[in-house]
Amino acid sequence: MPLSLPGSLVSTEWLAAHFDHPGLVILDGSFKLPGVTPIAADDFAARHIPQARFFDIDDIADHDTVLPHMLPSPGAFETYASDLGISNDSIVVVYDTPGLMSAGRVWWTLRTFGHDKVAILDGGLRKWMAEGRAVTGEATPAPKATFHATFHPDAVRSKAQVLDNLGSRAEQVIDARSAGRFTAEEKEARPGLRSGHIPGSLNLPFNALTDPQSGELLQVADLRTAFETAGLDFSKPVIASCGSGVIAAALAFGLHLTGKDDVAIYDGAWTEWGQPGDTPVETGAGKRDDRK
């Protein structure tokens, strides 16, 4: 019997009832910052949801740039997806360990390359394990599949486009980093970067969208309230940003759940913008810092 997703967010109960369905692909999209050990791939090797395959955000990326985990070319993504056993007919459920940190990046990547039959597991591996559900350290071989990508450039913004937006203000920029990093009270972990934020941008830390205990997403009304409290105008399009393009997708997913899809991600994010150069930076409550 064909399988269909109940929505863009699926419960642990739904996944437990369908995780061995032949039409379903489960992806563990967990990610950790550089230098944090054990790395996400090692965590996956130790325990993951049965039948899951590991979506390595750093590997499934453009390796011709020094910027981390930038989107690969459509052709390269076709190869990655096919090797993971994903076809254009696959139903995909993505999770990460905390609930909604990097799963949004995998969800956004698949959609950006034309695959809309993808959902995120509410609460991630944390909730799955808290409920006593099965995990395994055994790898499940991925059957070879064929994936054809249809790239949607409107889902991505470049540095040049974000610079142009400083003048036009046609799109709102919202930053998913912590308040301390946004205001420059905390230094960036990556060496050589300036601290602060893109001028005029809003701030909503990605973990404000989930319950701190369970990792589950807030109710839709509460998600909308969180964005509005941060200053977002739901009538205007959005660019989501963060440190390196990963947690920005959590904001894109949260907005998607509220029905707002005119949202793009600045893929280079602060790792690109914060480098010494000609990009203007604000610190604190709107203090501009144009130091090179």
**Active site (catalytic) residues:** 242
Tell me the residue type at 219.
Q
Pairing of strands 263-266, 172-175: unpaired
Query: Percentage helix, strand, coil, to 5, in the chain?
Result: 30, 15, 55
Question: Which pair of tokens denotes residue 44?
Answer: 């996956």
Strand stretches in 113-189, DSSP E: 118-121, 156-157, 172-175
CB within 8 Å of 288: residues ≥ 6 apart = 199, 280, 281, 282
Enclosing H/E stretch for 14: helix 12-18
Pairing of strands 118-121, 263-266: unpaired
Dist CA 18 CA 22 (whole Å): 9
Dist CA 193 CA 176 (whole Å): 17
DSSP string, 181-223: HHHTSS--SSTT---SB-TT-EE--GGGGB-TTT-PBPPHHHH
- Rg over CA atoms, the chain: 19
